């Protein structure tokens, strides 16, 4: 006699066992390979509860994590990317932009504005990696330069959370010019004695790393974030050598004096508000 009741497994047409768990309920951590309940990761601010791997989060999630509830006011939302070069690779640049706008309701690779962090006002920028890899085109550069100008006018600091693949190739030289434009704006901010805190999240690369992101009075990074100009694969293929473990990760950069601190996501808001208080003019 069977004393364990066995449930018959259901199979789909391909002969595979049908899961009764809804899709997306579980997530595999790329660092520790553990399969974890998605809700558990979400409750933990999208950080793996087993090994502290920081999953990427989008601009809105980042904003909710950092800004005091109900205090964020977006600026320059009306600025939309143009196609100055009439660029086409396998797809037209215009079509890529249209798709992002119509299907995903996304207009730019950065959201900027003003908000309070633990009751302290600051001009803020949040990169959206899912918009063309968070690449810096002319609108991104214009938005950054504009909030920096606004910060000078209001005499407050600037905090930018980067997550970017670098300059936007589809805009060619117009994109590269944003490196100089954002850096020049920050130089004015510095002359006014106002702070810029740069927060580097995974990944921060290319023209963003080579311009404003590395100009912070304090440069903060999330654990294990990839921070570089050219990525490790490009370097390995160029120099034909194997790179050291952890090369271009936040911990490696801290050890080599490129950044000032690594902060766990659950301490990020508190740390930034303390830094803003410390650096107030
Ligand atoms: Zn993990």
Among residues 269, 248, 266, 267, which one has the least CA distance to residue 258?
Answer: 248
Task: Give yes or no: residues 51 and 88 share one domain.
Answer: no
Low-confidence ranges of the chain (pLDDT < 50): 1-19
Distance CA 52, CA 48 (A): 5
Supply the range of the domain harboring residue 146. 57-279
pLDDT tens string 204-219: 999 999 999 999 999 9
Does the residue 87 lie in any domain? yes
- Residue 104 is predicted with a pLDDT of 85
Does the residue 12 lie in any domain? no
- Residue 280 is predicted with a pLDDT of 77
Does the residue 162 lie in any domain? yes
Counting the structural domains of the chain, the total is: 2
CA of 55 to the centre of ligand 1 (A): 9
CA of 40 to the centre of ligand 1 (A): 12
Task: Give yes or no: residues 112 and 163 share one domain.
Answer: yes
CA of 26 to the centre of ligand 1 (A): 13
CA of 50 to the centre of ligand 1 (A): 5
Task: Give yes or no: residues 50 and 87 share one domain.
Answer: no
- Residue 281 is predicted with a pLDDT of 53
Distance CA 134, CA 208 (A): 10
Task: Give yes or no: residues 148 and 221 share one domain.
Answer: yes
Task: Give yes or no: residues 49 and 118 share one domain.
Answer: no
CA of 64 to the centre of ligand 1 (A): 23
Which of 33, 55, 77 is the C-terminal boundary of a domain? 55
Does the residue 16 lie in any domain? no
- Residue 23 is predicted with a pLDDT of 59
Phi, psi of 183 (to 5 degrees): -65, -40
CA of 33 to the centre of ligand 1 (A): 6
CA of 93 to the centre of ligand 1 (A): 37
CA of 169 to the centre of ligand 1 (A): 34
Task: Give yes or no: residues 126 and 91 share one domain.
Answer: yes
Does the residue 47 lie in any domain? yes
Does the residue 1 lie in any domain? no
pLDDT tens string 87-103: 999 999 999 999 999 98
CA of 44 to the centre of ligand 1 (A): 12
Task: Give yes or no: residues 89 and 135 share one domain.
Answer: yes
CA-to-CA separations, 170 to 2, 192, 212, 275, in angstroms, rounded: 67, 34, 20, 36
Please, are residues 54 and 265 in contact by the beta-carbon 8 Å criterion? yes
Task: Give yes or no: residues 64 and 45 share one domain.
Answer: no
Cis amide bond preceding 203, omega within 30? yes
Task: Give yes or no: residues 175 and 273 share one domain.
Answer: yes
Distance CA 39, CA 104 (A): 23
CA-to-CA separations, 81 to 60, 77, 201, 203, 253, in angstroms, rounded: 20, 11, 24, 22, 33
pLDDT tens string 52-68: 999 999 999 999 999 99
Share the mean pLDDT of the chain: 92
Does the residue 17 lie in any domain? no
CA of 62 to the centre of ligand 1 (A): 20
Does the residue 8 lie in any domain? no
Phi, psi of 23 (to 5 degrees): -60, 140
Question: What is this structure's pTM?
Answer: 0.90
CA of 36 to the centre of ligand 1 (A): 8
CA of 129 to the centre of ligand 1 (A): 22
- Residue 22 is predicted with a pLDDT of 58
Task: Give yes or no: residues 40 and 132 share one domain.
Answer: no
- Residue 215 is predicted with a pLDDT of 98
């Amino acid at each position: 006699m069977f004393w364990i009741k066995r449930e018959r497994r259901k199979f789909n047409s391909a002969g595979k066992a049908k899961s009764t768990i809804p899709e997306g309920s579980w997530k595999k951590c790329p660092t520790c390979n553990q399969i974890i309940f998605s809700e558990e990761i979400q409750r933990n601010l999208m950080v793996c509860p087993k090994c502290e791997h920081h999953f990427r989060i989008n601009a809105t999630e980042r904003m909710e994590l950092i800004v005091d509830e109900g205090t964020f006011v977006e600026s320059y939302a009306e600025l939309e990317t143009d196609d100055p070069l009439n660029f086409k690779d396998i797809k037209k640049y215009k079509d890529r932009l249209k798709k992002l706008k119509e299907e995903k309701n996304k207009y730019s690779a950065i959201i900027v504005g003003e908000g309070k962090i633990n009751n302290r006002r600051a001009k803020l920028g949040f990169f959206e990696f899912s918009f063309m890899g968070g690449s810096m085109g002319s609108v991104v550069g214009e938005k950054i330069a504009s909030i920096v100008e606004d910060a000078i006018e209001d005499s407050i600091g600037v905090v930018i959370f980067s997550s970017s693949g670098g300059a936007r190739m589809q805009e060619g030289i117009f994109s590269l010019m944003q490196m100089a434009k954002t850096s020049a704006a920050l130089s004015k901010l510095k002359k006014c004695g106002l702070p810029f805190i740069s927060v580097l999240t995974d990944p921060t690369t290319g023209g963003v790393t080579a311009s404003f992101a590395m100009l912070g009075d304090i440069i903060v990074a999330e654990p294990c974030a990839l921070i570089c100009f050219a990525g490790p694969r490009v370097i390995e293929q160029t120099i034909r050598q194997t790179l050291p473990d952890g090369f271009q990760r936040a911990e490696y950069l801290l050890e080599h004096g490129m950044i000032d601190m690594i902060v766990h996501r659950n301490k990020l808001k508190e740390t930034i508000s303390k830094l803003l208080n410390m650096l107030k003019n």
